[in-house]
Amino acid sequence: MIAAMDASTGSRTVHAACPHDCPDTCALQVTVQGGEVLRVAGAADHPTTHGALCTKVARYAERSCHPERVLQPLRRVGPKGAGRFEPVGWDEALDAIAARLRTIAARDPQAILPYSYAGTMGLVQGESMAARFFHRLGASLLDRTICSTAGGAALAATYGAKVGMHVEHFAESRLILIWGSNSIGSNLHFWTFAQAAKRAGAKLVCIDPRRTETADKCHEHVALLPGTDGALALALMHELIVHDRLDHDYLARHVAGWEALRERALQWPPERAAGVCGIEAAQIRALAQDYGSLRPAAIRLNYGVQRVHGGCNTVRLIALLPCLVGAWRHRAGGMLLSSSGWFVPVRNDAALQRPDLLGARRPRTVNMVTIGDDLLRAASADFGPRIEALVVYNSNPVAVAPDGRRVRAGFARDDLFTVVLEHFLTDTADHADYVLPATTQLEHLDVHTSYGHTYALINEPAIAPLGQARPNTQIFRDLAARMGFDEACFGDDDETLARAALDPAAVDFDTLRRVGWVKLALPDAPFADGGFPTPDGRARADVPGLGLPDFVPNHESVQSAPALARRFPLAMISPPPRNFLNSTFVNVRSLRVIEGEPMLEIHADDAAPRGIADGTMVRVFNDRGSTACRARVGNRARPGVVNALGVWWRKLSPAGTNINELTSQRLTDVGGGPVFYDCLVQVEPAAAAAEPG
Ligand SMILES: Nc1nc2c(c(=O)[nH]1)N[C@H]1C(S)=C(S)[C@@H](COP(=O)(O)OP(=O)(O)OC[C@H]3O[C@@H](n4cnc5c(=O)[nH]c(N)nc54)[C@H](O)[C@@H]3O)O[C@H]1N2
Ligand SMILES: Nc1nc2c(c(=O)[nH]1)N[C@H]1C(S)=C(S)[C@@H](COP(=O)(O)OP(=O)(O)OC[C@H]3O[C@@H](n4cnc5c(=O)[nH]c(N)nc54)[C@H](O)[C@@H]3O)O[C@H]1N2
Ligand code: SF4
Ligand SMILES: [Mo]
């Protein structure tokens, strides 16, 4: 539906939504004239977007209309990874793909694996027709773990679901702990509310190993070692207990297992945690004092804390803090990691994805984090058949998955049949047998929920598909037809899918189209009087099957792996930069110019003994691999920790590799998540000869 028309210019504006994997899920207004996008702007009247977009999406048209967009199907002509292709017609490509998938499926459909994540967060262009296709086929299932499952498991354990505060209410908080979150870079619209709170006198504390641009603007910065947040949380509990800052009534009525957790927390005086975290005990005491006295106190936790071995235990500990002080009693108190659980009762995932098409079949599940190892695995009783075909959409695993050398070796297998649905020739697409051109958010219909706010949004197509691009849904419909899947559900068009995505009682589709968004009806202070979505309504310290949460050290740290640390003494984290979104936008020149080069921030105490000056090209390495970065010596990195910013496209990087060359395929304590920030490395000046010209 058209949101506005301008008769004088002949332009029209449509309601859209940002498709990216970002908690802000902005409401967009896209203005088009004569089939061309004039402007992508934030909707001024959407309460969390308030008319502002990040730099990346303000340039969405530059990305969509990029001269290097893949606009026709391509067939590989060079070796895998070389990125050499020839154009091919849609019919020829689809026929060839269907024939190959049919042959493999006849032996065992589980040898086919879909690989997708959140390139678009849309419910329609994400897992709707695609999921129907793979369910009908009986392909292997993919466990979509690459981002948030450790923290998700923690929220499910503690609160019963991925639920928390409304982002708007942070504006009224008196204390905000911004914990493992670079809000200015990756959660900009939360930051607006935090700033409003700051102007009204609130105290802001940033807990992050890196001195981020967000830390610069907070009153306090707690620069702890990566993966030590659980120890900090236990010491905060210790202080709240010994100074009796507890809300005894809230704990007694609304928390299961508190007594046992209390005993555990009493083992963690600030001095003990300070030793683990690499910070001063006095800083922990001061933080506990603030958290125990300033009301309402809110925590904005982000997924940065859970990309380490103890990811789930850490989030469980932090998620209990608001219960200790009764912060949930106020709408501006409590915690927000994710709001996605509020949408679960409203989403009709089964209707969209049709798991019933599996019938009695129960295919194996492959964890997307270990794609490197799994592509190289032979058939076995344990694993099942060797992976023979991979269909990738909404993801760029050759750049984003850990242990890149193994990932590339897997994708380079000559006997692997790989199809990639993409906008661009990414590092992954370069390894494809067929690349199929997909539409962008400007060219297709979708419906969005959010993991940072509680509005559902519509995305109306603003322009017709460019070139020969087709929506993901259409590509899977076309493939289904060629595979002979004749169930009626493969005939559903995008509007039918969009209408089926959400429960009409909660989100009326026609209102969504008219207004652009619909807010879920939820209480302001959802847990003011308990009522967590657990079986008995109480938050849980002690969880059946998991027990009590505890501090779980990193797989790789100076304390937990001293022998490894003698060779690789620096802890590396690789958090998102402001102007890329995961590996998306790295190929948009104007944004790449702002980010410059792959950068490694290092403290002077670590740089000087290695002969590294600001601007030195360095080699970062461990036993898994190496990559090249430009050193930035300064105060953004604390001693003992190096920060590599962003997941660059390998082919746009000086060494032809990126930071995931160094990360491991190990998994988190619970949830099967990745441990990108649990990674020891060494750094040395790159040999002069290796300097790019
Ligand atoms: N501009 C931009 N925005 C993004 C993204 C992007 O790539 N670019 N990515 C999007 C995605 S996929 C997600 S999942 C979300 C959230 O993605 P997150 O990765 O949670 O993003 P950040 O909010 O930047 O928070 C990570 C912060 O945690 C810090 N950190 C790393 N290890 C630790 C640790 O052990 N303890 C603590 N306390 N902090 C640690 C990092 O230094 C960083 O500042 O953001 C989304 N938004
Ligand atoms: N070292 C390190 N690695 C990381 C992280 C980190 O912090 N450090 N972060 C991790 C996290 S949190 C995440 S979520 C993952 C993200 O990993 P991915 O979900 O793979 O995200 P992107 O790299 O943005 O790749 C998304 C791709 O989808 C494509 N795409 C977008 N829309 C569409 C569409 O409509 N159709 C089709 N067919 N394609 C589309 C884009 O062009 C893009 O190439 O990376 C993880 N990897
Ligand atoms: S990436 Fe995030 S901040 Fe930027 S427009 Fe999209 S939702 Fe908004
Ligand atoms: Mo993510």
Which tokens hold the place of 342? 């509020």
**Atom 18 of ligand 2, nearest CA residue:** 395
Rounded distance, CA 560 to CA 632, Å?
A: 28
What is 361-396 written as a DSSP string?
----EEEGGGHHHHHTPPPBTTTBSPP-EEEEES--
Which tokens hold the place of 146? 């690459």
Q: Which ligand is nearest to the CA of 644?
A: 2
Whether this prediction's pTM lies above 0.75 is answered by yes
Q: How far is the CA of 24 from the centre of ligand 1 (A)?
A: 13
Rounded distance, CA 673 to CA 693, Å?
A: 38
Query: Which one, of 407, 378, 372, lies nearest residue 111 by Cα?
Result: 378
What is 219-280 written as a DSSP string?
SEEE-PPTT-HHHHHHHHHHHHHHTT---HHHHHHHEETHHHHHHHHTT--HHHHHHHHTS-
Q: How far is CA 307 from CA 332, 398, 523, 554, 574, in A?
A: 27, 19, 31, 10, 10
Query: Which one, of 572, 588, 583, 592, lies nearest residue 663 by Cα?
Result: 572
**Atom 4 of ligand 2, nearest CA residue:** 400
User: Residue 691 above 60 pLDDT?
Assistant: no
Ligand 3 atom at shortest distance from the alpha carbon of 19 = 6
Question: So what's the pLDDT on residue 53?
Answer: 96
Q: Which ligand is nearest to the CA of 302?
A: 1
**Atom 23 of ligand 2, nearest CA residue:** 583
Which tokens hold the place of 539? 């938050």
Q: How far is the CA of 581 from the centre of ligand 4 (A)?
A: 9
- Whether ligand 1 lies within 6 angstroms of the CB of 576 is answered as yes
Question: So what's the pLDDT on residue 105?
Answer: 98
- Whether ligand 3 lies within 6 angstroms of the CB of 56 is answered as yes
Rounded distance, CA 585 to CA 396, Å?
A: 12
Rounded distance, CA 678 to CA 429, Å?
A: 28
- Strand-by-strand arrangement of the 11-17 sheet: 2-6, 11-17, 27-33, 36-42
The arithmetic mean of pLDDT across residues 74-81, rounded, is 97
pLDDT digits (tens, 9 = 90+) for 656-682: 999 999 999 999 999 999 999 999 999
Could you say which DSSP state residue 168 is in? G
* DSSP-assigned beta bridge partners for residue 36: 33
Q: How far is the CA of 21 from the centre of ligand 4 (A)?
A: 6
| Mean model confidence pLDDT for the chain | 97
Question: So what's the pLDDT on residue 6?
Answer: 84
Question: So what's the pLDDT on residue 5?
Answer: 83
Which tokens hold the place of 241? 């207990």
531 Cβ neighbours under 8 A, 6+ residues apart: 537
User: Residue 692 above 90 pLDDT?
Assistant: no
Q: How far is the CA of 148 from the centre of ligand 4 (A)?
A: 6
Judged by DSSP in three states, 31 sits in: strand
Count of positions (residues) in the chain: 693
User: Residue 404 above 70 pLDDT?
Assistant: yes
**Atom 13 of ligand 1, nearest CA residue:** 22
- Whether ligand 1 lies within 6 angstroms of the CB of 227 is answered as yes
Question: So what's the pLDDT on residue 661?
Answer: 98
Q: How far is the CA of 67 from the centre of ligand 1 (A)?
A: 30
**Atom 4 of ligand 3, nearest CA residue:** 54
Judged by DSSP in three states, 591 sits in: helix
Q: How far is the CA of 36 from the centre of ligand 3 (A)?
A: 22
Ligand 3 atom at shortest distance from the alpha carbon of 25 = 7
pLDDT band at 693 (very low <50, low <70, confident <90, very high): very low
Query: Which one, of 166, 220, 171, 215, lies nearest residue 194 by Cα?
Result: 171
**How many other C-beta atoms are found inside a 10 Å radius of the C-beta of residue 220?**
15
Q: List, as ranges, residues with CB under 5 A of the ion ligand 4.
A: 147
11: alpha, beta or left? (left if phi > 0; alpha if psi -120 to 50): beta
Query: Which one, of 315, 276, 274, 296, lies nearest residue 180 by Cα?
Result: 315
User: Percent of the chain having pLDDT more than 90?
Assistant: 96
Phi, psi of 422 (to 5 degrees): -150, 165
Which tokens hold the place of 456? 């559902």
Rounded distance, CA 236 to CA 318, Å?
A: 10
What is 90-159 written as a DSSP string?
HHHHHHHHHHHHHHHHHH-GGGEEEEE-SSS--TTTTTTHHHHHHHHHTPPEEE--TTTHHHHHHHHHHH
- Whether ligand 1 lies within 6 angstroms of the CB of 303 is answered as yes
Which tokens hold the place of 339? 């709001």
User: Is 675 within 8 Å of 602 (Cβ atoms)?
Assistant: no
**Alpha carbon 398 to its chain's center:** 16
The pick from 123, 368, 400 for probing ligand 2's pocket by mutation, whose C-beta has the most ligand atoms within 8 angstroms, reads 400
Q: How far is the CA of 59 from the centre of ligand 1 (A)?
A: 22
Q: Which residues line ligand 2 (CB under 6 A)?
A: 19, 21, 117-120, 125, 146-147, 393-396, 399-400, 421-424, 426, 438, 472, 574-576, 581-584, 647, 659-660, 663, 676
pLDDT band at 164 (very low <50, low <70, confident <90, very high): very high
User: Residue 12 above 60 pLDDT?
Assistant: yes
User: Residue 582 above 50 pLDDT?
Assistant: yes
Which tokens hold the place of 685? 């000046």
User: ∠ CA(18), CA(21), CA(25), 5° rounding?
Assistant: 40
- Strand-by-strand arrangement of the 455-459 sheet: 446-448, 455-459, 517-519
User: Residue 689 above 50 pLDDT?
Assistant: no
pLDDT digits (tens, 9 = 90+) for 303-361: 999 999 999 999 999 999 999 999 999 999 999 999 999 999 999 999 999 999 999 99
Question: So what's the pLDDT on residue 432?
Answer: 98
